[in-house]
Structure 1
Amino acid sequence: MEDSKFARKNFALNFSHRIDYLSFGNDVPGHINPLDGTEKITLEQNMLFQYFITVVPTKLHTSGVSVNMHQFSVTERERLVSNKKGSHGVSGIFIKYNLSPLMVRVREEHMPLSVFLVRLYGIIGGIFSTSGLLHGLIGYFVDIICCCFRLGADQSKEGSP
């Protein structure tokens, strides 16, 4: 008899939560995952929290570390589940994940000093040529405007006795 009373009651549940750490695969020092430290606090009852995660295998090769790891991206969704308001569903915290068939390779490469200097000089030269072009165009338009005003002033002087 008690069980049927228990089943008939509508329970309001609070799904406030905190995700301290979530990762897939090996732990990489200094790498911060998107959901680390996520905290959701709600005053509403019967909330639905959904996390859609896409996991991508990654090979990381740098001067300090060489490791196979998994990165992931997250899309979050939250809504109130209320049958009275027409919002149907099940309240709770759901994590849905998808494993990507593609792999990302991250490799650190150092640029030689000569390549760096050529690129730097190219940027500096581009700035000088662009500023020279702008200076010429602005000067040209200023000359046109000044000439128009001079012609107007000269014509008004010629017309007066």
Structure 2
Amino acid sequence: MVTELSFGPHYPTLLNPLDKTIATTESHYYKYQYFLSVVPTIYSKGNQAALDSIIYSSSRPAHSKNVIFTNQYAATSQSATLPESPYYTPGIFFKYNIEPILLLISEERNSFLSLLIRLVNTVSGVMVTGGWVYQLAGWVGELVRKKRRARSEGVLDGKLSKE
């Protein structure tokens, strides 16, 4: 049973994949292996200036209540029954790699005015696109009508000239 496994402090939306994991077996010689990929993470809540100063600073600044230095991980597992022998060790094993990337998570809340501007931009974009589609459909329809007229006139002219 893994109650909690983390590589640093928690931030509000962090979900670790092995927390509250339970595995059982009837065998006395059993091996559980977990392969973890650990990713360094910087979490910032609502303070983009603090996050920018961390990103562009050459030294690591002290923790603040709005910026958390932590790690996340992904896990894969493998398990197998072992032969009863002194050469094999049953147990739970964690093998981890620290990935050479940095994940930045920033939670921000925009103003109501920003929401209204985004909504107006979205509605305007839909209306402009709809206008273009309507106009293009009109041009295509007009072109098709001209071709039909030209064919029907050509057929009539051909019939009249043969008679």
Report TM bin, short chain: 0.5 to 0.7
Q: CA-to-partner distance for each residue in 1:4-54, whole Å, 9 max, x for gaps?
A: xxxxxxxxxxxxxx5443222334566421223456689xx9777441221
Name stretches of at least 5 consecutive residues in structure 2 with no aligned partner: 48-64, 82-88
Cα gap change, 1:154 to 1:93, in 2 (>3 Å)? farther
Paired residue for 1:131?
A: 130
Structure with bigger RCO (C-alpha 8 Å, 6+ apart): 2
- Displacement of 1:118: 2.0
Secondary structure of the residue that 2:16 maps to in structure 1?
Answer: coil
Paired residue for 1:111?
A: 110
Paired residue for 1:21?
A: 4
Secondary structure of the residue that 1:98 maps to in structure 2?
Answer: strand
- Counterparts of 1:150 and 1:92 in 2: how far apart (Å)? 84
Count the aligned residue pairs: 137
Identity of aligned residues (%): 24
- Counterparts of 2:114 and 2:138 in 1: how far apart (Å)? 36
**1:36 and 2:35 correspond:** no
Secondary structure of the residue that 1:160 maps to in structure 2?
Answer: helix
- Counterparts of 1:98 and 1:154 in 2: how far apart (Å)? 77
- Counterparts of 2:137 and 2:93 in 1: how far apart (Å)? 61
Whether the 8 Å contact between 1:57 and 1:103 is mirrored in structure 2 is yes
Secondary structure of the residue that 1:25 maps to in structure 2?
Answer: coil
| Between structures 1 and 2, the one with greater strand share | 1
Paired residue for 2:37?
A: 53
Cα gap change, 1:144 to 1:95, in 2 (>3 Å)? same
TM-score, scaled relative to structure 1: 0.58
- Displacement of 1:92: 6.6
Name stretches of at least 5 consecutive residues in structure 1 with no aligned partner: 1-17, 82-89
